[in-house]
Amino acid sequence: MKHIEYLKRLFNHIESKGYTVDCECEGEGITQDEALTQVDDAHIYIIDKDGYSLGWIYWTYWNDWDESISDYTLELEKILKLDEFIEWNVK
């Protein structure tokens, strides 16, 4: 798998759980498309239906694709089952 496919799967996973995504690179807001194609790393914020941020994922293209999710808010393991998502996609 390549970085872009993995990130697309991550965005789809987040949205399938009913949340939206805000992306940021170096303190500036960017679109999902820009996160996919125009930056080396990004913070991905998971936003609930009321507009509150539930946590973040640090994504980087510097690592191998299967280590692109470099860090994240631990609460996302419960909210998104993020650890299971990672394990399932890395197999």
Q: pTM for the whole thing?
A: 0.92
**pLDDT score recorded for residue 65:** 85
**pLDDT score recorded for residue 32:** 96
**pLDDT score recorded for residue 15:** 97
**pLDDT score recorded for residue 64:** 87
CA distance 34 to 75: 26
Residue spans of the chain under pLDDT 50: none
**pLDDT score recorded for residue 46:** 98
**pLDDT score recorded for residue 48:** 97
**pLDDT score recorded for residue 1:** 78
CA distance 18 to 28: 24
